[in-house]
Amino acid sequence: MKPSSPSSGFDRRTFLKGIGTSAVAVAAIQATAVADEIGKAAGPGPQGPGPVKFTLSINGEKKEFNLEPRVTLLDALRNFGPLTGAKEVCDRATCGACSVLLDGKLIYACMKLAIDAQGCEITTVEGLAKDGKLTPVQQAFIDCDALMCGFCTPGLVMATTALLQSNSKPTEAQIRTACSGNLCRCGTYPHVIKAALKASGQAVAETTTVIHHGSVA
Amino acid sequence: MAAWPNPTQSMGKPTPRVDAFAKVTGGAKYTYDVQPDGLLYGMILRSKWPAANVTKIDITKAQAMPGVKAVILAGGEQRKVSFYGQELAAVAAATKQQALDALRAIEVTAEPLPFVVKEDDAIKPDSPQVADGPNLSQAKVSSKGDPNIDALFASAAAVCEAELRTPVQLHHPLETHGNTVSVQGDHVTAWSSTQGVFSVRDGLAGNLNVPQSNVQVICDYMGGGFGAKFGPGTHGGLAAQLSKAAGAPVKIMLTRLDQGLAVGNRPSSIQKLKFAAGADGKLLAADIENRGSPGISGGGKSAGGGGGAGIALPYIYHFPNVRSQQFGVTMNTGPASAFRAPGHPPASFGTESMIDELAVKLNMDPLQFRLLNDGDGIRQREYKEGAEKFGWAVKYKKPGSDPGPVKTGVGCAGATWGGGGRGSEAEAQINPDGTVEVRCGTQDLGTGSRTVVAIVAAEAFGLRPDQIKVKIGDTNLPFSGGSGGSSTTASMSPAVWDACQNALTALQTQTGVADARGANWTDACKKLGINPLTARGKWQEGLSSSGAGGVNFAEVEVDTETGFVRVKKIVAVHDCGLIVNPLATTSQINGGIMCGIGYALYEERIMDRQTGLLLNTNFDSYKITNIADCPEIEVILINMPERGIIGIGEPAVIPPAGAIANAVANAIGVRVHSLPITPAKVLAALGKVPNMPSV
């Protein structure tokens, strides 16, 4: 982070964690603790509450924003980007539908303030395919039907992409761990496991049998 | 009567979704994603009281705030509210942050009233009365066979009796309910996350008092519904009124908290079941009492199970003698709505639990006991196919006989569902360059409807599904009904087939090509000259039917020291008539199993008795399954093309909970009588900890 750039100096998760550790104190002390927490974390000085000008690098392109510091990266991408691939589902770091890569690291965009993403390269699901050519992960999701309504799909594609970047031949157990921060209500999980195996060039077992009625049991 | 071709070229072949590219690249635009010019962000202020007399709602401060374009009341200033989360007012502002600030500036004055949010409390004599009638509805009574059922129980070889409970389950589609509505004079365009674009159109037309023909509703992509997304809802009406007031398009997508409060749920059930069987293993009698709560929408004079709390008891088995009464319980919680196979998963859990108990009492294998008492021929076959694949004969052991401490157990359960559908219309356009566009006003909830249209059209024309351009999700297209009851594929496919057949006939007549399909396609289309050819079609008898079954076999591991249950394996055997796309059908079954595992082990809406508030407001505390919970799943599909298309979404979600509950009981030798089967309940059943009191 450049010292001259506007930044909150803390993200929602660190902030909440800080509050949590002081939650045992009585109300007055708690309020002081909150102020201290902010003071410690704020770094170069308070920003906002009005809009702040800043630049983000998204999928290799620079984009100017003029937003209040409280705007999350997810909100900035979706409503001011406008890149709507990352989805808003829980807005509380519980579902992974907003997953993006920040300098190659998988993060929940709902837990990052937009101004704190300055100086980082942000990759969203829109930035994966180049010139209409899908990545092996995207193609495997299609081939294995690892998507249904598709609302969790951008997040699961990003999570699988991040996994394969650090581990080119993950085991099924490693896939389960890597994708366990992404919820899917349609229940595509069995096919997501297959897609991750297929995208990493590993064998995928067929688990569906079709029997014609009338054939012998 | 119309008939499907035999053999088929495209139908029945595993086909990747035609819209998958858009979904894996982020290009698919959901209602949550659409951003028409001048869009305002709408949010709803909800009651923080479970019951109150609202005396004043002051919106003047909110109206004056930066970015705020409209503030409206949801139902008058002075009114009674009856559940936490009931809509009070709504704002439209330029940004989400401004809308949030404006909500906080609305001042509501209210006198809190006594409330009740627990089924057991609501039927006590001193409970606050929630609505006009009594909290406990009149009973819906049914019976068959011998009226002196008590005598049958007295003389039966085996009798089992228990109270079984299922929780309120929340739909929680990943895309919350919501609409973007643009009112321009008496014309309306709306983007809706819906299971029925026409139901939203008609609802908005009524809300705004404009002709239905002036309202266009679009649902290009939608992020799941599971039964709760029909009509515009209160939130859709508020978006429409805000748009009218602000003179700009307004988007209201519910927050995850809103989603848990006000837009539907699967009602709870408290099932008092008493089943009897003879020494020959045949079921004799069932005595049933069920009380379920659909929240504020139950009770009163509505005869039993009122407001949707009634469930399909006794489930699937043949009982010659039945005495049954079901009640609805009204309480201060959000209203119920249809949820994937309404009335079936709780009934299956209750019935299948008791069936296993009877089998154990009679010293019979539970699978053999089912084969003896389930009269459905297809399910009989499904049990046999599944048992073979699962290895039931080797895996089934006496309850609790695994030495442990981590004990393995197995169980099974069955399902039935109607499915089928009718009434859709469709249109096919053939262009001179050979391209094809097929139009149908249905919607794709994630089930793969768009791809089904492409497969059926490809079959008719001898083309590949990816050569068909499909237009769905728009009320300007030919009518198709709501996507519910596992009826979509059965309803729209015959219409698409009919439209394509009519188009093909016209093409062949017009061009003189005897068979324009497949290899002859491009040359035949060229002969059309400059005008495309369009033909309509509608649902035809003979291409679809109803009545599907299914069974699950489950293997679980129960850690008797922690109480944790892990589902190791599920074998699911299903029939759904003619299978259009086995790939998407498998996805539907996988999804039913994952949702069923959630219902069995994790999911429960928890209301706080003291405050009347929802305690588990997001996915950190309302637990749905994740990928780590995914068992090894094997799917067996019984293809019955001779029956036509039926439907699969709902039967898939029914049997997992019963099969898993039976597997847990088989593992540990004692039964957990309520869902979800949490570690605390397992340890309590084992006598290791006291029973947990309800919150």
ipTM value, please give it. Answer: 0.97
Beta bridge partners of B109: B56
List the single residue in B with minimal CA-CA distance to A157: B24
Best residue of B25, B226, B371, B573 to probe chain A, by most A CBs closer than 10 Å: B25
Q: Which residues contact B49 (CB under 8 A, 6 or more apart)?
A: B81, B84, B110, B112, B113, B115, B612
CB contact under 8 A, A180 and B637: no
pTM comes to: 0.94
CA-wise closest residue to B598 among A185, A151, A193: A185
Q: Which residues of B touch A210 (CB under 8 A)?
A: 12, 579, 582, 636-637, 639
CB contact under 8 A, B446 and A148: yes
- Cβ(B681)–Cβ(B692) below 8 Å: yes
Q: How many CB pairs under 8 A join A and B?
A: 213
Between positions 24 and 53 of B, the ones with CB within 8 A of A are 24-30, 32-33, 35, 41
Average pLDDT on B519-530 reads 97
Q: Which residues of B touch A190 (CB under 8 A)?
A: 590, 630, 633
**A212: how many CB neighbours lie within 10 A of its CB?**
12
Q: Token digits for B90? A: 């709504």
pLDDT tops 60 at residue B323:
yes
CB contact under 8 A, B174 and A175: no
The whole-chain average pLDDT of chain B stands at: 96
Beta bridge partners of B471: B439
Task: Give pLDDT tens digits for B199-211.
Answer: 999 999 999 999 9
Nearest CA-CA distance, residue A101 and chain B, Å: 14
Q: How confident is the model at residue B1 (pLDDT cuts 50, 70, 90)?
A: confident
CB contact under 8 A, A186 and B389: no
Average pLDDT on B647-675 reads 97
What distances in angstroms separate CA B394 from CA B232, B365, B387, one per listed residue? 52, 12, 10
- Cβ(B544)–Cβ(B644) below 8 Å: yes
Q: How confident is the model at residue B35 (pLDDT cuts 50, 70, 90)?
A: very high
CB contact under 8 A, A148 and B30: no
Query: From CA B571, how far away is CA B656, in angstroms rounded?
Result: 10
CA-wise closest residue to B116 among B492, B636, B519, B610: B610
Question: How many DSSP H helices and E strands does chain B contain?
Answer: 18, 23
Best residue of A163, A183, A186 to probe chain B, by most B CBs closer than 10 Å: A186
Strands (E) in A19-68, as ranges, are 52-58, 61-67
Best residue of A75, A152, A189 to probe chain B, by most B CBs closer than 10 Å: A189
Residue B554 sits at the chain A interface (C-beta within 8 Å): no
Question: What's the pLDDT score for residue A10?
Answer: 54
Q: Which segment of A3-7, B164-168, B231-235 scores lowest on mean pLDDT? A: A3-7
Q: Which helix (H) or strand (E) covers residue B383, if one does?
A: helix B377-390
CB contact under 8 A, B224 and A185: yes
Question: What's the pLDDT score for residue A2?
Answer: 40
Q: Regarding beta strands B250-253 and B40-46, do their DSSP bridges make them parallel or antiparallel, or are they unpaired?
A: parallel
Nearest CA-CA distance, residue A188 and chain B, Å: 6
Q: Which residues of A touch B390 (CB under 8 A)?
A: none
Question: What's the pLDDT score for residue A217?
Answer: 39
- Cβ(B204)–Cβ(B198) below 8 Å: no
Nearest CA-CA distance, residue B686 and chain A, Å: 30
Residue B634 sits at the chain A interface (C-beta within 8 Å): yes
Helices (H), A45-148: 73-80, 136-143
For chain A, 217 residues long, give each residue's pLDDT as a single digit of tens: 344 455 665 555 555 554 444 444 445 555 556 656 655 555 567 788 899 999 999 999 999 999 999 999 999 999 999 999 999 999 999 999 999 999 999 999 999 999 999 999 999 999 999 998 999 999 999 999 999 999 999 999 999 999 999 999 999 999 999 999 999 999 999 999 999 999 999 999 988 999 987 654 3
List the single residue in B with minimal CA-CA distance to A138: B24
Question: What's the pLDDT score for residue A212?
Answer: 86
pLDDT tops 90 at residue B115:
yes
pLDDT tops 60 at residue B303:
no
DSSP labels, B267-286: PPEEEEEEEEE-TTS-EEEE
Average pLDDT on B577-585 reads 97
Question: What's the pLDDT score for residue A14?
Answer: 55
CB contact under 8 A, A211 and B639: yes
At B492, which amino acid appears?
A: M
Tell me which residue in A124, A138, A189 faces B627 most closely, judged by beta carbons. A189
A49: preceding bond cis by omega (within 30 degrees): yes
CA-wise closest residue to B177 among B155, B159, B200, B211: B200
Task: Give pLDDT tens digits for B590-620.
Answer: 999 999 999 999 999 999 999 999 999 999 9
What distances in angstroms separate CA B254 from CA A142, A183, B46, B208, B482, one per listed residue? 29, 18, 11, 21, 21
Question: What's the pLDDT score for residue A216?
Answer: 42
List the single residue in B with minimal CA-CA distance to A100: B26
Strand order in the sheet with B215-218: B68-73, B87-93, B40-46, B250-253, B178-184, B187-192, B215-218
B366: preceding bond cis by omega (within 30 degrees): no
Nearest CA-CA distance, residue B79 and chain A, Å: 31
CA B115 to chain centre: 29
Average pLDDT on B363-374 reads 98
Question: What's the pLDDT score for residue A119?
Answer: 96
Residues shown for chain B: 695
Best residue of B222, B253, B567, B627 to probe chain A, by most A CBs closer than 10 Å: B627
Nearest CA-CA distance, residue B344 and chain A, Å: 19
Average pLDDT on B142-167 reads 96
Residue B624 sits at the chain A interface (C-beta within 8 Å): yes
Q: Which residues of A touch B253 (CB under 8 A)?
A: 88
B114: preceding bond cis by omega (within 30 degrees): no
- Cβ(B190)–Cβ(B162) below 8 Å: no
CB contact under 8 A, A185 and B638: no
Question: What's the pLDDT score for residue B678?
Answer: 97
Tell me which residue in A154, A187, A207 faces B26 most closely, judged by beta carbons. A154
User: What per-residue string of b and e applies to A52-65 under the rule 16 or more CB within 10 Å gives b?
Assistant: bebebbbbeeebeb
Between positions 408 and 467 of B, the ones with CB within 8 A of A are 445-448
Tell me which residue in B23, B27, B388 faces A147 most closely, judged by beta carbons. B23
Query: From CA B567, how far away is CA B629, in angstroms rounded?
Result: 7
Question: What's the pLDDT score for residue A44?
Answer: 63
CB contact under 8 A, B24 and A143: no
- Cβ(B152)–Cβ(B146) below 8 Å: yes
CB contact under 8 A, A185 and B27: no
